[in-house]
Amino acid sequence: MNEHENELKKALAENGGFDAEKAENEASRARRWFDSRLKWSGRISWMRIILVVVAFEFAFTNFLVADSTRAMIGYAAMMAITIVLVGVIAVQSWVAGTKIGLLKEIKLLRLECLGQPTEQVALSDLGAFSMTASTRRALSVREYIAWFVALMVVAGASAFVTAWFSARGWPAHMARFEGAPVTVESPHLGAPIYYTIYIRMDHGVCKVSRITPDHKQSDLFLMGEGFVRNTLPPGDSLHLDPQGNTGEYSVRFE
């Protein structure tokens, strides 16, 4: 027996009969207590979703800049886990809301049974003692909107911060351009090979080309600062032309 039932029994003992007003007050207290639990359950679910979204942003941003297949697989797995976690949190939130709502109905029913008059009372008193629980949302519409806006703000901020840190995670040691073109030979594995090329020019742009074994050259792209990950056919090499400018570069094969 909890405090609501104790208070109601005490009220009945003091008055020697059914008191509709005090019984309704105890029912209102019980409703408020369960409604508060329901609200906090919803808020905690939103907090967990925001944390999962931040983790997803981190994995997605790093997946885009990953320079190895192993890293890409790891970040892709992390994204899959976060998506599953969102579904788990949604189901847990629904189960918790249903459980709290059911307990609320049972508690109000117990209070109603406990507060039933043992002697004949006026029908107006019985009419005043209405304990039918109403179905309510865990949170108000305004609070749902506020949490959604917070989710969007946090997601955008986390994406920006993660991208900023990822951009700073370039190779520690990069070779220097001194104005002359550079040719980077790929390992002769007899199969297409992945490469990641980082370029940071002081001025102008660098023209990146592909040279085949029979010395035919085809342009790939121009870049002033950034990185590209792509595949290179067997036996081909990369030709980096800073076009007379200076800068830094790094090429990684895997």
| Residue 200 neighbours by CB under 8 Å, 6+ apart | 170, 174, 225, 247, 248, 249
Task: Answer yes or no: do 34 and 80 share one domain.
Answer: yes
Summarize pLDDT for 154-171 with one digit per residue, the tens: 887 877 776 666 555 556
Task: Convert the pLDDT of each residue in 94-129 to its tens digit.
Answer: 877 777 777 777 766 666 665 555 444 444 444 444
Do 39 and 123 fall within a single domain?
A: yes
Which of 167, 184, 214 finishes a domain? Answer: 167
If one counts the domains in the chain, the total is 2
Return the closest-CA partner of residue 238 out of 191, 203, 193. Answer: 193
Segment 60-88 shows an average pLDDT of 83
Average pLDDT value over all residues in the chain: 75
| 161, 211: one domain | no
Residues whose CB is less than 8 angstroms from the CB of residue 182 and which lie 6 or more positions away in sequence, other chains included: 175, 239, 240, 241, 242, 249
Q: Which of 115, 148, 167 is the last residue in one of the domains?
A: 167
Residue 249 belongs to a domain with what CATH number? 2.60.120.380
Residues 160 and 187 in one domain: no
Tell me: the pLDDT tens digits for 39-67? 787 888 888 888 998 888 888 877 776 66
Helix (H) or strand (E) holding 205: none
- Of 167, 200, 228, the last residue of a domain is 167
Higher pLDDT, 146 or 102: 146
Structural domain boundaries enclosing 81: 3-167
pLDDT tens digits, 189-223: 678 888 888 898 998 999 999 999 888 999 999 99
Residues 37 and 161 in one domain: yes
Residues 123 and 249 grouped into a single domain: no
CB 198 within 8 A of CB 249: yes
Please give the structure tokens belonging to residue 147. 């949490």
Residues 140 and 27 in one domain: yes
Q: Tell me the pLDDT band of 135, cut-offs 50, 70 and 90.
A: very low
- Considering Cα of 110, then 111, then 112, then 115, what sign does the dihedral take? positive
Sign of CA dihedral 12, 16, 19, 25: negative
| Per-residue model confidence (pLDDT) at position 238 | 93
- Residue 206: exposure state from Cβ atoms within 10 A (0-12, 13-18, ≥19): buried
Query: Which backbone phi and psi does 5 adopt, to 5 degrees?
Result: -70, -40
Same domain, 145 and 190: no
| Reported confidence tier of residue 5, pLDDT bands at 50, 70, 90 | low
pLDDT, tens only, 8-37 = 455 544 554 555 566 666 667 767 777 777
186 touches 195 (CB < 8 A): yes
What pTM does this model have? 0.49
The answer to whether residues 58 and 158 touch, using CB atoms and an 8 Å cutoff, is yes
